[in-house]
Structure 1
Amino acid sequence: MQTNLSEQAKRLPRAEEAERILRSCVHCGFCNATCPTYQIMGDELDGPRGRIYLIKQVLEGQEVTAKTQLHLDRCLTCRNCETTCPSGVQYHNLLDIGRAVVEEQIPRGFGERLLRESLRAVVPRPAVFKALTMAGQLFRPLLPGALQAKLPRQAHPAKARPSVRHGRKVLTLEGCVQPSLSPNTNAAAARVLDRLGISVVPAREAGCCGAVDYHLNAQDKGLDRARRNIDAWWPAIEQGAEALIQTASGCGAFVKDYGHLLKDDPAYAEKAQRVTSLSKDLAEVLSAEPIEQLGIEADRRLAFHCPCTLQHAQKLSGAVEGILGRFGFSLTAVPDSHLCCGSAGTYSLTQPELSRQLRDNKLNALESGNPEVIVTANIGCQTHLDGAGRTPVRHWIELVEEALA
Structure 2
Amino acid sequence: MQTNLSEAAKRLPRAEEAESILRSCVHCGFCNATCPTYQIIGDELDGPRGRIYLMKQALEGGEISESTQLHLDRCLTCRNCETTCPSGVRYHNLLDIGRDFIEQQVPRSPSERLLRAGLRTVVPRAGLFKALLRTGNLFRPLMPASLKAHMPREVRPPRPRPQARHARQVLMLEGCVQPSLSPNTNAATARVLDRFGIGITPAREAGCCGAVDYHLNAQDTGLDRARRNIDAWWPAIEAGAEAIVQTASGCGAFVKEYGHLLRNDPQYAEKAHRVSQLAKDLVEVLRDQDLERLAIKADKRMAFHCPCTLQHAQKLGGAVESVLTRLGFTLTPVPDAHLCCGSAGSYSITQPELSKQLRDNKLNALESGNPEVIVTANIGCQTHLDGANRTPVRHWIEIVDEALG
Q: TM-score, normalised by structure 2?
A: 0.99
Cα pair 1:213 1:219 within 8 Å, conserved: yes
Q: Hey, what's the Cα distance between the residues in 1 that align with 2:344 and 2:365?
A: 18
The alpha carbon displacement at 1:203 in A equals 2.2
Match for residue 304 of structure 2? Answer: 304
The alpha carbon displacement at 1:164 in A equals 0.5
Q: Hey, what's the Cα distance between the residues in 2 that align with 1:123 and 1:144?
A: 20
The alpha carbon displacement at 1:201 in A equals 2.1
> Structure 2 unaligned runs (5+)?
none
Match for residue 46 of structure 1? Answer: 46
Match for residue 127 of structure 1? Answer: 127
Deviates more, 1:286-295 or 1:62-71: 286-295
The aligned amino acid for 1:158 is: P
The alpha carbon displacement at 1:63 in A equals 1.4
The alpha carbon displacement at 1:139 in A equals 1.0
For residues 48-106 of structure 1, the C-alpha deviation after alignment (integer angstroms, 9 at most, x for no partner) is 00000000000000011000000000000000000000000000000000000100000
Q: Within 5 Å, which residues of 2 pair with 1:91-102?
A: 91-102=91-102
Match for residue 367 of structure 1? Answer: 367
Q: Hey, what's the Cα distance between the residues in 2 that align with 1:85 and 1:296?
A: 40
> Structure 1 unaligned runs (5+)?
none
Q: Hey, what's the Cα distance between the residues in 1 that align with 2:203 and 2:293?
A: 28
Match for residue 188 of structure 1? Answer: 188
Match for residue 141 of structure 1? Answer: 141
Match for residue 175 of structure 2? Answer: 175
Cα pair 2:168 2:199 within 8 Å, conserved: yes
Q: Within 5 Å, which residues of 2 pair with 1:263-278?
A: 263-278=263-278
What's the secondary structure of 2:224's corresponding residue? Answer: helix
Q: Hey, what's the Cα distance between the residues in 1 that align with 2:293 and 2:188?
A: 17
For residues 359-397 of structure 1, the C-alpha deviation after alignment (integer angstroms, 9 at most, x for no partner) is 000000000000000000000000000000000000000
Match for residue 27 of structure 1? Answer: 27
The alpha carbon displacement at 1:254 in A equals 0.1
Cα pair 1:174 1:203 within 8 Å, conserved: no
For residues 259-294 of structure 1, the C-alpha deviation after alignment (integer angstroms, 9 at most, x for no partner) is 000000010000000000000000000001111222
Q: Hey, what's the Cα distance between the residues in 2 that align with 1:230 and 1:253?
A: 15
Q: Hey, what's the Cα distance between the residues in 2 that align with 1:204 and 1:74?
A: 35
Q: Within 5 Å, which residues of 2 pair with 1:13-24?
A: 13-24=13-24
The alpha carbon displacement at 1:154 in A equals 1.5
1:353 and 2:353 equivalent? yes
Match for residue 113 of structure 1? Answer: 113
What's the secondary structure of 1:156's corresponding residue? Answer: coil
What's the secondary structure of 2:369's corresponding residue? Answer: coil
Q: Within 5 Å, which residues of 2 pair with 1:228-243?
A: 228-243=228-243
The alpha carbon displacement at 1:218 in A equals 0.2
The alpha carbon displacement at 1:304 in A equals 0.1
The alpha carbon displacement at 1:225 in A equals 0.3
Q: Hey, what's the Cα distance between the residues in 2 that align with 1:66 and 1:157?
A: 45
Q: Hey, what's the Cα distance between the residues in 2 that align with 1:69 and 1:248?
A: 28
What's the secondary structure of 1:288's corresponding residue? Answer: coil
Match for residue 87 of structure 1? Answer: 87
Q: Hey, what's the Cα distance between the residues in 1 that align with 2:203 and 2:245?
A: 10
Cα pair 1:206 1:228 within 8 Å, conserved: yes
Deviates more, 1:168-177 or 1:290-299: 290-299
For residues 187-224 of structure 1, the C-alpha deviation after alignment (integer angstroms, 9 at most, x for no partner) is 00000000110001232110100000000000000000
Cα pair 2:248 2:377 within 8 Å, conserved: yes
1:71 and 2:71 equivalent? yes
Count of residues in correspondence between the two structures: 405
Structure 1 moving runs of 4+ over 6 Å: none
Q: TM-score, normalised by structure 1?
A: 0.99
Match for residue 8 of structure 2? Answer: 8
Cα pair 2:5 2:61 within 8 Å, conserved: yes
The alpha carbon displacement at 1:150 in A equals 1.2
For residues 162-207 of structure 1, the C-alpha deviation after alignment (integer angstroms, 9 at most, x for no partner) is 0001000100000000000000000000000001100012321101
Q: Hey, what's the Cα distance between the residues in 2 that align with 1:214 and 1:160?
A: 34
The aligned amino acid for 1:311 is: Q
The alpha carbon displacement at 1:155 in A equals 2.2
Cα pair 2:201 2:236 within 8 Å, conserved: no
The aligned amino acid for 1:200 is: I
The aligned amino acid for 2:144 is: P
| Root mean square deviation of aligned Cα | 0.6
The aligned amino acid for 1:31 is: C
The alpha carbon displacement at 1:299 in A equals 2.1
